[in-house]
Amino acid sequence: MRGLSIVAEGAGRYIHWGVIQISQTNLIIIGVMVLLFVLALVVPFPSGHGDHRDEQGRGR
């Protein structure tokens, strides 16, 4: 009997650059992470500064 179908999926898409090879999916994940990091740094955070500010320290 011919064996079960073992090789259901071969390799996905890979990007090669010198000694580096990385899957397209992993590269996208890393790219999205870097993008999120940059966005987190530059996108303003709504903080309503000025109002409800407690001028003294020592919050309760």
Partner 1 sequence: MTTHADETASEATTDTSNWTNWLRTKIVGLVPPGQALPDRQPVYVASWIYVFGVLTLASLVVVIGSGCVLAIGGSAWWHVSSLGHYVNSVHLWSVQLLFGFMVIHLWGKFFMAAWRGERALTWISGVVLFAVSIGTSFTGFLAQTNFDAQWIGGQAKDGLNSVGVGAWFNVLNPGQMLMWHIVLLPLVLVALTAMHVILVRRHGVVPPIDAALEG
Partner 2 sequence: MISKWPSGGRRRDNTPDSHDFPTRPYDLVKEFAIALVVVFVLSVGLAAIFSSPDEKPITMSAWANTEPNDVVLTAVGELAGTTTSATYGPPYNSAVEGQKLGPLPLQKWGGVRLPVDSAGLVVEPLSNVSGDPTLTAALSSWNTATPDQRTTWATAYADAIGAPAADGEPATGAGGDPGGVAAGDYGPVPALSAAFLQLARTGGLEGALTSSGNFYGGDTTKSLLLLSDGAYLEDQARAKNLAGDQWGMMNEAGNAPGQPWMWLYTFWYQVPPFSNSDNADALVWGLMMVLTLLLMFVPFIPGLRSIPRWIPLHRLIWRDYYRNAKHS
Touching partner 1, residues 16-45 (CB under 8 A): 29, 32-33, 36-37, 39-41, 43, 45
Q: Least distance (Å) from partner 2 to the CB of residue 24?
A: 7
Residue 18 or 56 with smaller CB distance to partner 1: 56
CA 50 to chain centre: 33
* Identity of residue 12: G
Q: Least distance (Å) from partner 2 to the CB of residue 39?
A: 11
State the Cα–Cα distance between residues 60 and 10, nearest whole angstrom.
60
Q: Considering Cα of 28, then 33, then 37, then 43, what sign does the dihedral take? A: positive
Does 54 contact partner 1 by CB under 8 A?
yes
